[in-house]
Structure 1
Amino acid sequence: MRAEGAVSRKSTRRGRLLAGAALLACVPVSVLAQTAPSPIPPAAVQDGLAPDAIYIEADNAGREGDVISATGERDRVYARFQGHSLRGRAVTYDLAKGIGTADGDVELVDPDSNTVFASHLELDSDLRAGVAVDFATRTANGASLMAATAVRRSENVNELNYALFTPCPICDDAGNPKTPSIAIQAEKVVQDEELRAVLYRNAVFKVGGVPVFWTPFFAHPDPTVDRASGLLVPIFNYDDGRGVSVETPYLQVISPSEDWLISPQFNTRVLPFLNLQWRRRFANGMIVARGGFTYAQNFGNFDLNGDGQAESNVDFGDRTSRSYILAHGRFDPEGPWRFGFTAERTSDKTLFDRYDVIDPYQDNGLYYGDQRRLISQLYAERQTARSYLSIAAFSIQSLRVAQFNDVTPALNIFESDGALPLVAPLIDARWEPSGPVLGGRLRLRGSAVSLYRDEYFGSPVLRPEIIPTTASPFGLPGVDSRRVTGQIDWRRTLISPSGIRYEPFVDGRFDVYSVADLPPVLGLEDETITRSRATIGLDVSYPLIRRLSDGADIIVEPLGQISVSTDPDLDPRIPIEDSQTLELDESSLFRIDRFPGYDLLEGGVRITAGVRTTLRWAEGRTASLFVGRSMRDAEQSAFRIPIPDAPNSLYDPSGLAAQTSDWVVQASFQPSDRIRGWGHATVDGSGDIRRAEMAVDGRWGRRNLATLSYIVDRSNPLDGPGNRNYEFVQLAGQQFIAGNWGVAVAGIADLERDLITRSEVGIVFDDDCFRVEVGYRRDNTRVSPTGPSDGAYFRLNLATFGGSGYGSNGLR
């Protein structure tokens, strides 16, 4: 009984001491800051004190021999010595020994602005050792370390007894102590500033003040450390193909500029998969290389018994190495040149989907791969105030599905890499003279490219006129092409006294193409083709603004353009490599060449008109609307391509082939700082939407938010297996219901197929210190070889310690 009573009294005393430390850590935020007569001077300020001098401000002060004593009745004593600032109710300082003592609401600030709170504090002459009671300190990132007693053993080692560490807030908004959401309490804690680590003995992990785990020893990096070797938060997942999956990342820091991330993935149904990442910074650049490896069979869904239904998670094929690499580097030495590379390849087109590799499709380098396409490139750039030059070469690996299998995604047919071009080289150059030419801006531009294909590829690269109609495309060689372009562009801005803006422009362009391996069945040989085009035109705009009675502004800006060009001579033998995708919007509608790239260009007489209206009112709230359209003197049939499911029929995916283009409608609005949205659509002459995209973001409360987006493409007029029209709605949001508890949802609905392709719903706990999310998700995409899958997911993010899968990154 006496032993139990001793333990009880010991625990009570320890609890009181930790409560006192927490109170001291909270009070300086409110009460002490209000009672201080003046702010503590920043540590970097030169106060002019000699190394052995001390400055004191106090209500009462006295000296007996070498000992100076000071007390504060209304305000705390303020003392400054050796670059340190000290506050307390009672302070003594021994000038001979250089020892300082402080009691009562003690606050010590060192030259690096680190702050320590205590009820009693002692410091030695070198300020390298000391003793503190009710010790508390707070780091810049908000983490707190408290102890009943603390001893500074040396310049680099702090020893704390009955200590508590938490990365979470320990004070409420009123400055009162509160129980941290996550904390580590230990019998002894050693903070080694040289090792930059915190070591614990008999550590107890607490969640909401409740003990949940005990360990005799534990260590983690000092909160001031940016990076340190050690285990990161594991990533938990479930997939019908892999089963339960746990990824355990380990970070190995080699130096301040280099580290490794070793992240094995362990699965219950298939063999493990190892992910690696190496990062290295140099004086003028950096390299990041990711890779993954396993030695296993493939797995997926197959119809083994011929009943038309695919059995789940079937291993097939021989065990073999399966791997990927995703690497990029960029170097920017002194001078105008910089250079870099990307290396992106995978041995299996479904590897990322099978093993749920995190964020494999990133935009790095000078040129970006499309979604589900990997690009490997070398490039160099030279840029000055008046010139630019880039030289690059790249190849592409496609992970896109060309033909979906109705029984199982494991039998999908993927886009052939041989049908994609090898680009080497691709050169782009621009130059402008330092001064105006004829009162305007002159720009010279040059471009050159060579493309090589191993396999034949028809529409839309080849024009309908040279696509074989009888011969099978199998066995035909891939078409190679080379192009050199020179261009001159002049533009001048003039503003009339009434505010009308005039911009006359002149453009001239000359192309040379060399095309090889055209389909021999048509009797075509290697061809050299030249073409030229000259354009003259005028842009006119007239912004009108009116102040409304309630302080709002409305701006109406009519826009117009007239351009006259020579015949563009769209030779059907020229492959269309860089102009297949057109985004017709407000910015591109008034360009001379609205197609990206060089292979397609426009000519003839064109008139383009539009109007932009903007409404602005209080506190930065805005709404705008643009409507515009273009007309030409003759149709451009070269812009039409064969319908995939009816090659003898043509359609216009661009909206520019007819004499009148599609209408362009574009809008944005922000009625408050919590709601914003935008939309864009192209509408054909009959009023049907060809393409549209819109999104709305909303926030309410402190952490509630939602995003809703919609995208549609209805440009292909004929249904069939080759029709790639689409219509999607995507939703993501979170709503907190009670305190820190809430619900998170995310999903993508394929309206074209009447199917929810991805969905998640989960319960969230988030208190700004850590976030945990547990829920259910289902994947109905047709790309994953394991077919539709569902299961539970778990995501965790801890302040200071890092996170695992924070957010809904899986909805890609």
Structure 2
Amino acid sequence: MGLGNRAVGEGPVTFTADEVEYDQTTNMVTARGKVEAWQGDRVLRADEFTYDRDTGVATATGNVALIEPDGQTLFADRVELTDGMRDAAIEGIRGLLAANARVAAAGARRTGGTVTDLARVVYSSCDLCPEDPTRPPLWQLRARIATLDSVEQRVRYRDAAVQFGGVPLLYTPYFSHASPDAPRASGFLSPTFGQTRFLGGFAELPYYWAIDDHSDATISVTASTDQVPNLGGAYRRRFNSGEVTFEGSIGNLDGTDADGIGGHVFSQGRFTLDENWRVGFAVNRASSREYLQAWRYGAPRVLTTTAYAEGFWGAEGYARIDSMLYQGLDAANSTDLTPFVLPRGYADYVFPNDGLGGRFTVDASAFSLFRSSGTDTRRVATRTTYELPLIGGMGDIWTFRTHADLVGGWVDGLALAPTYGDAGGDGFFGRGHIRTALDWRMPFVRSAGEYGSQIIEPRVQVVTGPATGSQLRFPNEDSVDFEFTDANLFSLNRFYGRDRFEGGTRADAALRGAWLFPNGGQIEGLAGRSVRLATDETFADGSGLENRSSDWVGRLRLAPVTWLELLGRGRLDKDTGEGRLWDATATVFGGPFSLSGGYLLTNPAPNVTTRKREEFSLGGTFRLNEYWRVGLFGRYDIGLDRPVAAQASATYEDECFIFETRFVRSWAEDPSTRADYTGGTLLLFRVGLKTIGDFGLRAL
């Protein structure tokens, strides 16, 4: 049934009911029993509905439910509607909002269809106790007056108090937050309070600005007792083809080696040009590491600024060109030796399989690298790879591989940077190298019946190529960090880059065994070593490859059941069997908990570290019940005989409330190696009232 009304552009009020009565004398329509009335996108349900056709006033009583266009539902004892259901006077209101939020009030008035004023209001997103619904929820916000603005999507309170378990703990004369259904809304975010040794007591107040549908910003001011205020901000924007993010700050710092005005900029962006190409950038600079630590912007040791373009052509082709600018923030590192790379390019292409089943891969790379003091290098390189797998008559697997490299370039100042080469090598350099290998594997498979299957697989590879001789006269930019493990035992060139080649003739051998269980678990291990015809002086002492016979390398994985996994790899001295590298982890999964432990042993690495590192770690997470979980982690340096880091956390989370506390303690590194890296303590408390905001306390 449709009835005329005085609203403009809203259309008639239409309703259905079990019984409808019309009084011609008073021009009043009365509907009873399962009444449902709607106009536009608003729907009203009630036991009884009366409509005055002269005044356009509609009154609903008995189990009233008013469904808003955004899906939110208001329940009431009595509702009086005017202006085509846009304006309303409501008695005994109860609302079910988005994100599980609930609101109740003694009365309410809505004007213009957008603003609703509530009197003596209670708001919470907590579920009521199913055994005792009259019991106060975990938290609730009570206020004398509250205003819901559906246009601005904000809720504002006056004379408000936050209660926990019915006990008021916080009072404020004014408070506002975004509506639960608001995707984004401008306004102040929850402040963070704390104390640090640099700042003293501090308070951070951030403001969130929803600029438009595609961009937003956050502006924060941090005031402290020991420093002048710091201003920070972040800007984010999404485009149809990509996104950008800018973050920065400016402030002053007293009481450190970096006194004075400081600041930082962290930014990045990425854009898709077409189906093959994308471009991007990152600009990261800071006045000092002390500034970042003091104002809680992290503590990186190196910042990288880059711009790049890269292309993808399925699995066949890839290309990238970029530039790199590094800023070392660690006082132990010389900024004069920090490189500036402009430009650097790389491309590769994988050809389709040939008639024999083999595959060619070709790549090319080039870079120009500059330093304030030390080696300047410009280099081009290319590598052609061919790999042909064959299956023998007994199921043995043969693989033929070959690499051919060409490298050329120009170097200046080689004598000034011994780390990157030796004296006497300035000027043009060029060289080529080729390596060829024949790899044989023979997997023996045996059924273990109901216990799965077993595999024993011997593997032998012979690699040959010209001896390289001394390579110290060539710059070394990409092959400084080297570690011999089972992962590169069968690599044709065990150096990761192109500045160092592995020449001569050698044989690599390993034995792999595995037991595969029906439940998906397995036990798998490998042990092997390498033997060459002549020593290669390219490998430094302690690398494990400095002699004709290499160290032993191996790995082991034990995962017989779904709740246990042990992973380990190691390298043993070829003569004494002493461990030169151990890296092992063990993890236990137990439903509500997981526990992991690790052990690491590494010897000094040439050009990288100067001391032996030996440490173990232990950590785990435990879910105590549906709401509580705790976490523990610790790391101990055996060589220095002291802890490195420790952390403990506890978190409570339910449908409406989050409480988190975290304790982190770090100890200073060996003063002889990292004099500027000091330890510290962090204590963090965070309280979150869902749909309202978070409140944090931080001590450092």
Name 2:357's counterpart in structure 1.
Answer: 439
Q: TM (normalized to structure 1)?
A: 0.71
Partner letter of residue 228 of structure 1?
Answer: A
The Cα of 1:183 is off from its aligned counterpart by 2.4
Contact 1:758 1:780 in 2 (8 A): yes
Contact 2:250 2:261 in 1 (8 A): yes
Inter-partner Cα distance in structure 1 for 2:489 and 2:31: 80
Tell me: higher relative CO, structure 1 or 2? Use CA pairs within 8 A at least 6 residues apart.
1
Name 2:8's counterpart in structure 1.
Answer: none
Name 2:280's counterpart in structure 1.
Answer: 340
Name 1:794's counterpart in structure 2.
Answer: 685
Contact 1:556 1:612 in 2 (8 A): yes
The Cα of 1:215 is off from its aligned counterpart by 1.8
Name 1:14's counterpart in structure 2.
Answer: none
2:193 aligned to which of 236, 244, 248: 236
1:58-116 Cα distance to aligned partner (Å, 9 max, x none) = xxx34445755435xxxxx889986777777x365879879684733x66666655455
Name 1:480's counterpart in structure 2.
Answer: 376
Residue 240 of structure 2 corresponds to residue 350 of structure 1: no
The Cα of 1:399 is off from its aligned counterpart by 2.7
Contact 1:138 1:144 in 2 (8 A): yes
Residue 643 of structure 2 corresponds to residue 753 of structure 1: no
1:607-636 Cα distance to aligned partner (Å, 9 max, x none) = 343426364555xx6344332424233355
Inter-partner Cα distance in structure 1 for 2:528 and 2:118: 73
Inter-partner Cα distance in structure 1 for 2:649 and 2:292: 24
Residue 80 of structure 2 corresponds to residue 103 of structure 1: no
Residue 204 of structure 2 corresponds to residue 247 of structure 1: yes
Inter-partner Cα distance in structure 1 for 2:338 and 2:141: 56
The Cα of 1:730 is off from its aligned counterpart by 4.0
Residue 465 of structure 2 corresponds to residue 566 of structure 1: yes
Name 1:472's counterpart in structure 2.
Answer: none
The 1:758/1:660 distance shift into structure 2, 3 A limit, reads closer
The Cα of 1:602 is off from its aligned counterpart by 2.9
The Cα of 1:429 is off from its aligned counterpart by 0.3
- Secondary structure in structure 1 of the residue aligned to 2:254: strand
1:634 aligned to which of 514, 529, 533: 533
The Cα of 1:376 is off from its aligned counterpart by 1.2
The 1:52/1:133 distance shift into structure 2, 3 A limit, reads closer
Inter-partner Cα distance in structure 2 for 1:569 and 1:389: 30
The Cα of 1:500 is off from its aligned counterpart by 5.7
The range that moved more, 506-515 or 385-394, is 506-515
Contact 1:339 1:380 in 2 (8 A): yes
Q: How much identity, in percent, do the aligned residues show?
A: 23
Inter-partner Cα distance in structure 2 for 1:187 and 1:737: 39
Partner letter of residue 445 of structure 1?
Answer: D
Inter-partner Cα distance in structure 2 for 1:498 and 1:148: 87
The range that moved more, 539-548 or 558-567, is 539-548
Contact 1:517 1:526 in 2 (8 A): no
Q: TM (normalized to structure 2)?
A: 0.81
The 1:612/1:161 distance shift into structure 2, 3 A limit, reads farther
The Cα of 1:428 is off from its aligned counterpart by 0.6
- Secondary structure in structure 2 of the residue aligned to 1:254: coil
Inter-partner Cα distance in structure 2 for 1:208 and 1:698: 38
The Cα of 1:779 is off from its aligned counterpart by 3.8
Q: Number of matched residues?
A: 669
1:383 aligned to which of 303, 312, 330: 312
Contact 1:579 1:596 in 2 (8 A): yes
Q: Give the aligned CA root-mean-square deviation in angstroms.
A: 4.3
1:256 aligned to which of 213, 237, 247: 213
Inter-partner Cα distance in structure 1 for 2:348 and 2:587: 39
The 1:744/1:391 distance shift into structure 2, 3 A limit, reads closer
Contact 1:120 1:132 in 2 (8 A): yes
2:151 aligned to which of 194, 197, 203: 194
- Secondary structure in structure 1 of the residue aligned to 2:292: helix
The Cα of 1:445 is off from its aligned counterpart by 1.1
Inter-partner Cα distance in structure 1 for 2:390 and 2:50: 76
Name 1:597's counterpart in structure 2.
Answer: 497
Name 1:323's counterpart in structure 2.
Answer: 263
**Residues 520-539 of structure 1 mapped to structure 2, 5 A cutoff:** 522-538=423-439
Contact 2:664 2:682 in 1 (8 A): yes
Inter-partner Cα distance in structure 2 for 1:691 and 1:591: 19
Q: Structure 2 stretches of 5 or more lacking a match?
A: 1-10, 23-28, 417-421
Inter-partner Cα distance in structure 1 for 2:272 and 2:224: 42
Inter-partner Cα distance in structure 1 for 2:444 and 2:90: 69
The Cα of 1:381 is off from its aligned counterpart by 0.9
Name 1:511's counterpart in structure 2.
Answer: 407
The Cα of 1:124 is off from its aligned counterpart by 6.6
Name 2:570's counterpart in structure 1.
Answer: 681
The Cα of 1:144 is off from its aligned counterpart by 3.1
The Cα of 1:200 is off from its aligned counterpart by 1.1
Residue 580 of structure 2 corresponds to residue 690 of structure 1: yes
Partner letter of residue 226 of structure 2?
Answer: R
Partner letter of residue 512 of structure 1?
Answer: G
The range that moved more, 187-196 or 734-743, is 734-743
Inter-partner Cα distance in structure 1 for 2:662 and 2:382: 58
Inter-partner Cα distance in structure 2 for 1:199 and 1:175: 30
The 1:554/1:768 distance shift into structure 2, 3 A limit, reads farther
1:712 aligned to which of 598, 601, 605: 601
The Cα of 1:526 is off from its aligned counterpart by 1.8
> As a proportion of its length, which structure holds more strand?
2
The 1:799/1:689 distance shift into structure 2, 3 A limit, reads farther
Contact 2:528 2:554 in 1 (8 A): yes
1:639-664 Cα distance to aligned partner (Å, 9 max, x none) = 433xxxxxxxx332x65765334312
The Cα of 1:278 is off from its aligned counterpart by 2.4
The Cα of 1:427 is off from its aligned counterpart by 0.9
The Cα of 1:769 is off from its aligned counterpart by 3.7
- Secondary structure in structure 2 of the residue aligned to 1:572: coil
Inter-partner Cα distance in structure 2 for 1:497 and 1:210: 82
Partner letter of residue 414 of structure 1?
Answer: A
- Secondary structure in structure 2 of the residue aligned to 1:195: coil
Contact 1:665 1:682 in 2 (8 A): no
Residue 121 of structure 2 corresponds to residue 163 of structure 1: yes
The Cα of 1:342 is off from its aligned counterpart by 1.5
**Residues 462-473 of structure 1 mapped to structure 2, 5 A cutoff:** none
Inter-partner Cα distance in structure 2 for 1:593 and 1:241: 49
Name 1:392's counterpart in structure 2.
Answer: 322
Residue 100 of structure 2 corresponds to residue 142 of structure 1: yes
Name 1:576's counterpart in structure 2.
Answer: 476
The 1:717/1:259 distance shift into structure 2, 3 A limit, reads closer
Inter-partner Cα distance in structure 2 for 1:803 and 1:677: 39
Inter-partner Cα distance in structure 1 for 2:595 and 2:40: 53
Inter-partner Cα distance in structure 2 for 1:249 and 1:64: 58
Inter-partner Cα distance in structure 2 for 1:568 and 1:138: 79
The 1:437/1:776 distance shift into structure 2, 3 A limit, reads same
- Secondary structure in structure 2 of the residue aligned to 1:594: coil
Residue 326 of structure 2 corresponds to residue 430 of structure 1: no
Contact 1:629 1:660 in 2 (8 A): no
The 1:798/1:699 distance shift into structure 2, 3 A limit, reads farther
The Cα of 1:137 is off from its aligned counterpart by 4.1
The Cα of 1:198 is off from its aligned counterpart by 0.8
- Secondary structure in structure 2 of the residue aligned to 1:781: coil
- Secondary structure in structure 2 of the residue aligned to 1:728: strand
The 1:795/1:748 distance shift into structure 2, 3 A limit, reads farther
The 1:804/1:539 distance shift into structure 2, 3 A limit, reads farther
Contact 2:528 2:552 in 1 (8 A): yes
Name 1:70's counterpart in structure 2.
Answer: 33
The Cα of 1:530 is off from its aligned counterpart by 0.9
The Cα of 1:205 is off from its aligned counterpart by 1.1
Inter-partner Cα distance in structure 1 for 2:629 and 2:193: 21
The Cα of 1:680 is off from its aligned counterpart by 3.8
- Secondary structure in structure 1 of the residue aligned to 2:99: coil
